[in-house]
Structure 1
Amino acid sequence: MEILSTQNARVKEWAQLLEKKYRDKQEKFIIEGIHLVSEALRSDWDIQYIVYDTEKGIPAELQTDIASYSGGAQYVAVSEAVLAKCTDTRTPQPVFAIVYKRNALLQSILTEPKGIVIVLDGVQDPGNVGTIIRSADASGAAGVILGQGCADLYNPKTIRSTMGSLFHLPVLEGSLQEILPAAKEQGAVLLSTSLQAEKSCYTYDFGGGAWIVIGNEGKGISASTAAMVDEHILIPMQGQAESLNAAMASTILLFEAMRQRGV
């Protein structure tokens, strides 16, 4: 199939996915570039369309992944103008894909009672959210929970920041007021950072698992979430900086937990 006009109805539908309301309505999102498309193919996500530059053809780097992909994606060649209309990056990528959302089930995260789960409460920066998902993936976390008020998981900036990690572990969007009590009923320990805490993250025992709550970049965690937290720990700092950003704090805690758990 080939589409050259930006006025094509299908192209208009794809371009709408750059906006959250249409992603929510269609239950789909758009990923841009060879790396992200490759990760989606390797993870056997449900891809509707793989769209590529008609002059350049399907990127050679994707051929092996396409050959082993078990899904039923349709392949569409388009003009450079169509690529530009449907992508968020300043320089249009040679390929993008339309991917169906895969809503992670809470149960898939709860089934690992001693797992490390990162919980985001109002983390609004897409780059921070994406980086945290990437760190969670790299450190072997059981999953990531995005509470209300967080940057949209399917925002193109969030997706780019995950570098494909979105496809590797359960990531769930939902209400913390519903999810966290369910986790605590299953024995999860809710942990958060505090400058007033006495216990260091380097002496806290992560061996039994933990749900680590990370709050808004400026305000911290909400009062309703804070009321459910079981323990507070401190990330020791020697310099004069007052705090770390959400992504850096998350990464330190995730990798300390990984270190303690035998890696």
Structure 2
Amino acid sequence: MEILSPQNSRVKEWAGLLEKKNRDKQYKYLIEGIHLVKEALLARADIECVCYEVEGGIPSELHEAASAGIDVEWVGVSSAVISKCSDTKTPQPVFAVVRKDHGMVQPLLDKERSLVVVLDGVQDPGNVGTIIRSADAVGADGVIVGAGCADIYGPKVIRATMGSLFHLPVVNGKLGEVLPQAKARGIRLAGTSLQAAANCFAYDFTGPVWLLFGSEGGGLSSEVRELMDDGLIIPMRGKAESLNVAMAASVLLYEAMRQRHFSNINNSRCQL
């Protein structure tokens, strides 16, 4: 199938997904570029269609997926259609329309010894995407996104995840309801705090723990801060006053991974 006119009704619908209100209404979103489309296909995401620039054909990296019998509509489109459905200055030759995942918080509550990231008002898309990517990298069980955060289906967030959005559960949740449920199940709620007494490298991450991260400017909301069990300090030997929220999240996540999976490694010098 080919669609060459940017005035086509389907194209207008796709382009509308660049706005959050339309993503919420249609329960769909766009992903752009060969890497993200390939990751979505490999993860068996609920893809409605893959659109490729008709002059160049289906990118070679996607040939295997295109011939694998996956139930996805492949649509050849013009460069004008590609441009209309992209929010970048130099659009890539392929994009896909994906239906949102009906992710649920309950499996994360039920998971034994869970390691979950909880975002509370993290507004910068790059930070949200990077945190999701770090959570994926360490094998965290999921990410819960509360009110006031950047839309996880926005183009900038999706690009920053580099495909990690398709590798672990990333769900929206009402933190005022979810966090008390977690506490009732014995899950510790820990977050960074300048007033904290606990050094993050001395904290026990081996049990069930959810890591709370707040907005770049104000930190955690008062509602979430009151629910937090443990405040942690990330020690710094230099003169920097603080770390970017995505960097802070990465530090804690990697310390959790070290304790859970690498604590018995011999610390003596490696022989290369």
Other structure's SS at 1:172 match = strand
- Where in structure 1 do 4 or more consecutive aligned residues deviate above 6 Å? none
Is 1:154 the counterpart of 2:153? The answer is yes
Q: After superposition, give the CA deviation of every residue in 1:216-258 in whole Å (9 maximum; x if it has no partner).
A: 0010000000110011111001111111111000000000000
Q: After superposition, give the CA deviation of every residue in 1:170-199 in whole Å (9 maximum; x if it has no partner).
A: 111121111111212222110011112121
Partner of 1:2: 2
User: Residues of 2 paired with 1:207 and 1:24: CA distance?
Assistant: 37
**Do the aligned residues in 1 keep the contact of 2:186 with 2:208 (CA within 8 Å)?**
no
**What letter corresponds to residue 52 of structure 1 in structure 2?**
Y
Partner of 2:244: 245
Partner of 2:179: 180
**Do the aligned residues in 2 keep the contact of 1:135 with 1:251 (CA within 8 Å)?**
yes
User: Residues of 2 paired with 1:223 and 1:99: CA distance?
Assistant: 35
Cα shift at 1:69 = 6.0
User: Residues of 2 paired with 1:186 and 1:37: CA distance?
Assistant: 38
* Aligned CA distance change for structure 1 residues 92 and 255 (closer, same or farther; 3 Å): same
Cα shift at 1:103 = 2.3
Aligned residues: 262
Partner of 2:135: 136
User: Residues of 1 paired with 2:5 and 2:65: CA distance?
Assistant: 28
User: Residues of 1 paired with 2:79 and 2:158: CA distance?
Assistant: 22
Partner of 1:197: 196
**What letter corresponds to residue 221 of structure 2 in structure 1?**
S
**Do the aligned residues in 2 keep the contact of 1:41 with 1:69 (CA within 8 Å)?**
no
Partner of 1:29: 29
Q: After superposition, give the CA deviation of every residue in 1:63-109 in whole Å (9 maximum; x if it has no partner).
A: 12333464x21111010000000011110110000000002111221
User: Residues of 1 paired with 2:168 and 2:253: CA distance?
Assistant: 14
The percent identity for this pair of structures is 59
| Range that drifts further, 186-195 or 93-102 | 186-195
Write out aligned runs for 1:207-218 (5 A): 207-218=206-217
| Range that drifts further, 194-203 or 131-140 | 194-203
TM-score (norm 1): 0.97
Partner of 2:265: none
**Which runs of 5 or more structure 1 residues have no equivalent in the other structure?**
none
Q: CA RMSD in A?
A: 1.0
**Which runs of 5 or more structure 2 residues have no equivalent in the other structure?**
263-272
User: Residues of 2 paired with 1:244 and 1:62: CA distance?
Assistant: 39
TM-score (norm 2): 0.94
| Range that drifts further, 206-215 or 18-27 | 206-215
User: Residues of 1 paired with 2:212 and 2:106: CA distance?
Assistant: 19
User: Residues of 2 paired with 1:90 and 1:186: CA distance?
Assistant: 48
**Do the aligned residues in 1 keep the contact of 2:53 with 2:77 (CA within 8 Å)?**
yes
**What letter corresponds to residue 19 of structure 2 in structure 1?**
E
**What letter corresponds to residue 146 of structure 1 in structure 2?**
V
Partner of 1:13: 13
* Aligned CA distance change for structure 1 residues 162 and 142 (closer, same or farther; 3 Å): same
Cα shift at 1:209 = 2.4
Partner of 1:39: 39
**Do the aligned residues in 2 keep the contact of 1:30 with 1:98 (CA within 8 Å)?**
yes
